[in-house]
Structure 1
Amino acid sequence: MAPTLYMIQASPPVRAVLITAKAIGLDLNQKDINFFQDEHLKPHFLKLNPQHTIPTLEDEDGFAVWDSHAIMTYLVSKYAKDDSVYPQDIKKRAVVNQRLFFESGVIFFHMRNIARSLLVHCQNFINEDDRDGMIEGFGLLEKLLEGKKWAAGDFVSLADYSLISSVGTAVTIIPVDSEEYPNLTAWMKRCEELPEYAANAKGLKEAAEMLKLRLTRK
């Protein structure tokens, strides 16, 4: 029996987990949750995750964990054949962790606010503070990628999977100039060429369509 991932396909954190699972060759039992019908507030789900956030993972032994970063590191630690995407080397792992925290605290922080304002509060514009915060995040990532092929150095890691899920969503509504952000643009293209990136495609398309539709409404 495979681990069950409670998910919304369009969610960037969910897609980061899906990319990770594909990278390590792990099949997940994918269970869609209808957020807009409050399925995340049902008793069974609240028992698994009192914080009622998506994604949530329930392993085959009943163990539950949530937050995409915690799920990703758990899956790799338990199911991966090697440590290539989340190295045991303490310094390499520290850099990967830092990038994961950067994605959570900066990039996804603003992406979540933007998505909530558009999809939950039904705005048809992006708040200036979040637009500015996202652009600042792009600039920081551009700097972090200087002299590096991947987010944490010369190897593909969980940091790339987490960042590309959020950055890839953000740029569909806040485009980046390739001349102004050459490192970021080149990194995104490399991520898109990874075999495991295929797990991101469907949800990214759904997310972009939803966000763009809301922005074009009067």
Structure 2
Amino acid sequence: MDFYYLPASAPCRAVEMAAKALGVELNKKQLNLFAGEHLKPAFLKLNPQHTIPTLVDNGFSIWESRAIIIYLAEKYGKNDSLYPKDPKKRAVVNQLLFFDISTIYSAFVNTYVQQYLFKKEVDAEKYKAVDTAFEFLNTFLEGRKYVAGDAYTLADISLIATVSSYEIVNYDISKYANVARWYESVKKSAPGWEENWAGCLEYKKLLGV
């Protein structure tokens, strides 16, 4: 199973953590985006959108990290703990995966990536969106051990990859008691955390923080 990725990327790190939790081996193929390797014809045949992460499983190509981790859980999960079959429980996991990409991850891209990677001045309102996203996550975690309830799911995996990116830019996660509690707990128990953090440190160097 070929996995095209960049270690620093939070979406790529989420796929690595999901694979680790599922016991799936990935044949990792790192792409140098700055050298345009994702624009070469061979890769465009696999993914015409030329994005990472991209997974190729026995000729089947899929991209977008949240789609990839759902695919892996549905095909290779020994049970449904990471991605519940119960419609209501699954809906909550999906909701949080969508929250990740549309709200808290996009807020990171719109602020810290612009500030550090592209050296752009960022409007203060966009930083307020970061605080709002964390306030939402803090509310979601009220009375919950994990983001979707009492069990560790794909939603935790995707969000831990995102939230750990905020740690490397020195965002004060401790302001949000529920998020801080969850984050510290998951760091100690999540399969693949060490690889995720190693990728975070690469990201920190890339951003020049």
Give the TM-score range, shorter chain: over 0.9
Q: Which runs of 5+ in 2 are unaligned?
A: none
TM-score (norm 2): 0.93
Residue in 2 that maps onto 1:38: 36
Task: State how many pairs are aligned.
Answer: 208
Q: Which moved more, 1:143-152 or 1:198-207?
A: 198-207
In 1: Cα distance, 2:112 partner to 2:50 partner: 18
In 2: Cα distance, 1:195 partner to 1:13 partner: 16
Does the Cα contact within 8 Å between 1:19 and 1:198 map onto a contact in 2?
no
For 2:164, which of 161, 164, 168 is the aligned residue? 168
The aligned amino acid for 1:187 is: W
RMSD of Structure 2 on Structure 1 (CA): 1.6
The aligned amino acid for 2:184 is: K
In 1: Cα distance, 2:102 partner to 2:144 partner: 22
For 1:86, which of 83, 86, 94 is the aligned residue? 83
Dislocated runs of 4+, deviation >6 Å: none
In 2: Cα distance, 1:18 partner to 1:101 partner: 19
Q: 1:171 to 1:136 in 2, by over 3 A?
A: farther
For residues 43-54 of structure 1, the aligned pairs below 5 Å read: 43-54=41-52
The aligned amino acid for 1:207 is: Y
Residue in 1 that maps onto 2:18: 20
The aligned amino acid for 1:184 is: V
Q: 1:115 to 1:6 in 2, by over 3 A?
A: farther
TM-score (norm 1): 0.90
Residue in 2 that maps onto 1:181: 176
Does the Cα contact within 8 Å between 1:22 and 1:199 map onto a contact in 2?
no
In 1: Cα distance, 2:41 partner to 2:112 partner: 26
Residue in 2 that maps onto 1:194: 189
Q: Which runs of 5+ in 1 are unaligned?
A: none
Aligned-pair identity in percent equals: 42
The aligned amino acid for 1:19 is: M
